[in-house]
Amino acid sequence: MESTMAETNIPDTGMADEQQYLTFIMSGEEYGVDILAVQEIRGWEEPTSIPNAPRYIRGVINLRGTIVPIMDLRMRFGLEHIEYTATTVVIILKFDGEHGERVMGIVVDAVSDVYTIADGSTRKPPELTEDDNSDFIKGLVNVNEKMVILLDVEELLSIKNQLLNVAGSVE
Amino acid sequence: MSVDLSQFHQVFFEESFEGLDVMESQLLEMDPADVDDETVNTIFRAAHSIKGGAGTFGFMPISEFTHVVETLLDEIRSGQRVMQPEYVDLFLQSVDCLRGMLSDMQQGNEPEKERPAQLRAEFETILHGAAPVAEAAPTEEEKGSGWLIRLTPYPDLLRTGNEPFRMFRELIDIVGEEHCEIEADTSKLPEFTSLNPEECHLAWQIRVTREIPLADIKVVFEWVEDECDLVYEPLGDVATASPEETAPAVSDTSDAEGIQVPEKVAAAIAETPKKSAEPAAPAKAPKKANAESSSIRVSIDKVDSLINMVGELVITQSMLGQLGQDFDLSRLAKLQEGLSQLEQNTRELQESVMKIRMMPISFAFSRFPRLVRDLGNQLGKKVNLVTLGEQTELDKTVMEKISDPLVHLVRNSMDHGLETTEKRLAAGKSADGTITLNAYHQGGNIVIEVADDGAGLNEEKILKKAMEKGLVPESANLTPEEIHQLVFLPGFSTADAVSDISGRGVGMDVVRRNIQALNGSIEVRSSRGTGSTFIIRLPLTLAILDGQLVQVCEATYIFPLVSIVESIQISRRSLNHVTGSQYVMQLRDEYIPIVRLDEIFGLRDNVQDIDELMLVVVEGDNEKIGIVVDDLLGQQQVVIKSLEQNYTKVSGISGATILGDGTVALIIDISSIGRNITPVKKHQGKSDQAA
CATH number of the CATH domain containing A126: 2.40.50.180
- Contacts with A170 from chain B: Cβ below 8 Å: none
pLDDT single digits (tens) B357-383: 778 888 888 888 888 888 888 888 888
Return the pLDDT at B443.
Answer: 63
pLDDT tier for residue A40 given thresholds of 50, 70 and 90 = very high
Which residue type occupies B613? L
Contact state of B664 with A104 under an 8 Å Cβ cutoff:
no
Scan residues 101-140 of A and list those with Cβ closer than 8 Å to B.
102-104
d(C-alpha B640, C-alpha B155), whole Å? 56
pLDDT tier for residue B293 given thresholds of 50, 70 and 90 = low
Return the pLDDT at A90.
Answer: 93
Assigned domain for A158 exists: yes
Return the pLDDT at B187.
Answer: 77
Q: Which of A49, A52, A61 sits opposite B651 (nearest CB)?
A: A52
Percent of chain A at pLDDT > 90 equals 17
Return the pLDDT at A93.
Answer: 92
- Contacts with B281 from chain A: Cβ below 8 Å: 1, 4
Contact state of A162 with B648 under an 8 Å Cβ cutoff:
yes
Where in chain B are the domains?
6-128, 139-283, 300-356, 360-539, 544-690
Burial class (CB within 10 angstroms; exposed 0-12, middle 13-18, buried 19+) of A167: exposed
Give helix B6-29 / helix B37-56 axis angle, nearest 10°: 160
d(C-alpha A83, C-alpha B335), whole Å? 42
Q: Which residues does B353 contact at the CB level (< 8 Å), separation at least 6?
A: B306
Of the candidate ranges A50-64, B89-103, B575-589, the one whose mean pLDDT is the lowest: B575-589
Contact state of B658 with A65 under an 8 Å Cβ cutoff:
yes
pLDDT tier for residue A22 given thresholds of 50, 70 and 90 = very high
**Is residue B506 scored above 70 in pLDDT?**
no
Specify the fold of B6-128.
Answer: Four Helix Bundle (Hemerythrin (Met), subunit A) (1.20.120)
Assigned domain for A54 exists: yes
Query: Could you give the count of Cα atoms lying within 13 Å of B401 in the half-sphere of its Cβ?
Result: 21
Assigned domain for A53 exists: yes
d(C-alpha B597, C-alpha B671), whole Å? 14
Q: What is the DSSP string of B420-446?
A: PHHHHHHTT--SSEEEEEEEEEETTEE
- The strand pair at B544-552 and B555-560 is best described as antiparallel
Under a CB-based contact definition with an 8 Å cutoff, are residues B610 and B572 in contact?
yes
Contact state of A102 with B645 under an 8 Å Cβ cutoff:
yes
pLDDT tier for residue B283 given thresholds of 50, 70 and 90 = very low
Return the pLDDT at B44.
Answer: 84
Q: Nearest CA to B203 among B218, B188, B191, B217?
A: B188
CB-defined contacts A:B, below 8 A = 75
d(C-alpha B23, C-alpha B335), whole Å? 57
What's the CATH number for B544-690? 2.40.50.180
Q: Distance, in angstroms, between A58 CA and closest chain B CA?
A: 12
- Chain B residue with minimal CA distance to A158? B647
Cα B578 to chain centroid, rounded: 50
B476: helix, strand or coil: coil
pLDDT single digits (tens) B382-411: 888 898 888 888 888 788 888 888 888 888
Give helix B214-221 / helix B164-175 axis angle, nearest 10°: 160
pLDDT single digits (tens) B40-86: 888 888 888 888 888 777 788 888 888 888 888 888 877 777 777 78
B536: helix, strand or coil: strand
Q: Nearest CA to B365 among B418, B436, B295?
A: B436
Residue B457 region, left (φ>0) first, then alpha (ψ -120 to 50), else beta? beta
Assigned domain for A34 exists: yes
Q: Distance, in angstroms, between A120 CA and closest chain B CA?
A: 32
Of the candidate ranges A141-145, B196-200, B506-510, B669-673, the one whose mean pLDDT is the lowest: B506-510
Percent helix, strand and coil across chain A, each to the nearest 5: 20, 45, 35
Contact state of B647 with A51 under an 8 Å Cβ cutoff:
no
Contact state of B281 with A4 under an 8 Å Cβ cutoff:
yes
pLDDT tier for residue B678 given thresholds of 50, 70 and 90 = very low
* Structural class in CATH, domain B360-539: alpha beta
d(C-alpha B36, C-alpha B32), whole Å? 9
Return the pLDDT at B675.
Answer: 66
Note whether A65 contacts B: Cβ–Cβ < 8 A.
Answer: yes
Return the pLDDT at B284.
Answer: 37
Which residue type occupies A22? L
Return the pLDDT at B437.
Answer: 92
Note whether A99 contacts B: Cβ–Cβ < 8 A.
Answer: yes
Active site residues of B: 48, 70, 412
Q: Distance, in angstroms, between B356 CA and closest chain A CA?
A: 21
**Is residue B285 scored above 70 in pLDDT?**
no
DSSP assignment letter at B130: S
- Chain B residue with minimal CA distance to A53? B650
Q: Which of B280, B602, B646 sits opposite A103 (nearest CB)?
A: B646
Contact state of B650 with A48 under an 8 Å Cβ cutoff:
no
Task: Tell me which residues of chain B have a C-beta less than 8 Å from any C-beta of chain A.
Answer: 2, 4, 280-281, 284, 555, 600-603, 641-648, 650-653, 656, 658, 662-666
Enclosing domain of residue A29? 17-164
**Is residue B243 scored above 50 in pLDDT?**
no
Percent of chain B at pLDDT > 70 equals 80
- Contacts with A59 from chain B: Cβ below 8 Å: 664
Interface test with chain B among A7, A57, A62, by most B beta carbons within 10 Å: A62
- Contacts with A61 from chain B: Cβ below 8 Å: 664
Could you give the number of structural domains in chain A? 1
Q: Nearest CA to B533 among B449, B626, B431?
A: B449
Contact state of B666 with A53 under an 8 Å Cβ cutoff:
no
